[in-house]
Chains A and B, each alone.
Chain A
């Protein structure tokens, strides 16, 4: 079992729809959770981070964390073709894990115009 699991996709949504990206993690001691976006041929860039259970909103993006279920998600509202990219879920393992960040394999998102 991978430490951070994501559906590889591709996930295809029409322009203007909500894209929902999901991630599960195995280490209950994990403390910080991140979503990075990576365009083809480019390096990852941070979209959002979340530490506490619940929702965190930033513009069209909402991160959701449920530590009991070891589940983190990213919602993209009003999806745009420019949102087409691979989205990487990342988990920081905290002190017990040497503060290492583990990345999922990523979910490819296609937003159709």
Chain B
């Protein structure tokens, strides 16, 4: 069955370190998204991609970067982790820009000390 996976599921790191969160989907979806979820804020869009070599900034992109070298993967990099980036991170994918349903990965809990 097609799926979307994230790794690691839990991560503890120190401020200033570079961290990369992996997202891999086997739906063959063009669109992939990264969100963070914090209490009281719901899901906030960090970066998104509508295809290979395409990346776009979301509403909370400062301190994060992504690259899309193939259809299946959209890794999220925290260039220099900050305590404010402690959060739960969700990756999602959808079939097309107009296609509405997003399928979410299981999430990564990140703690920055």
Q: Which residues of B contact A44 (CB under 8 A)?
A: 43, 90, 102, 104
B interface bracket (residues with beta carbon within 8 Å of A): 20 to 34
B97 touches A106 (CB 8 A): no
B42 touches A49 (CB 8 A): no
Neighbour of B101 across the interface among A8, A34, A103, A105, CB < 8 A:
A34
> How distant is B39 from chain A, measured CB to nearest CB, in Å?
9
Q: Judge whether A24 is part of the interface by a CB distance below 8 angstroms.
A: no
Neighbour of B102 across the interface among A46, A104, A105, A106, CB < 8 A:
A46
Q: Which residues of A contact B104 (CB under 8 A)?
A: 43-45
Interface residues on chain A, number (Cβ under 8 Å): 21
A8 touches B40 (CB 8 A): yes
In the complex, identify which listed stretch (A10-18, A54-62, A68-76, A92-100) lies at the interface while the others stay far away: A92-100
Interface set, chain B 1-56, CB cutoff 8 A to A:
33, 35, 40-45, 48, 56
A-B contact pairs, 24 of them (CB 8 A): A4-B42, A32-B100, A34-B100, A34-B101, A43-B90, A43-B104, A43-B105, A46-B101, A49-B100, A88-B42, A88-B43, A99-B97, A100-B45, A100-B48, A100-B58, A101-B33, A101-B45, A101-B102, A102-B45, A103-B44, A105-B40, A105-B41, A105-B42, A106-B42
By a beta-carbon cutoff of 8 Å, the part of chain A in contact with chain B is 4, 8, 32, 34, 42-46, 49, 88, 92, 98-106
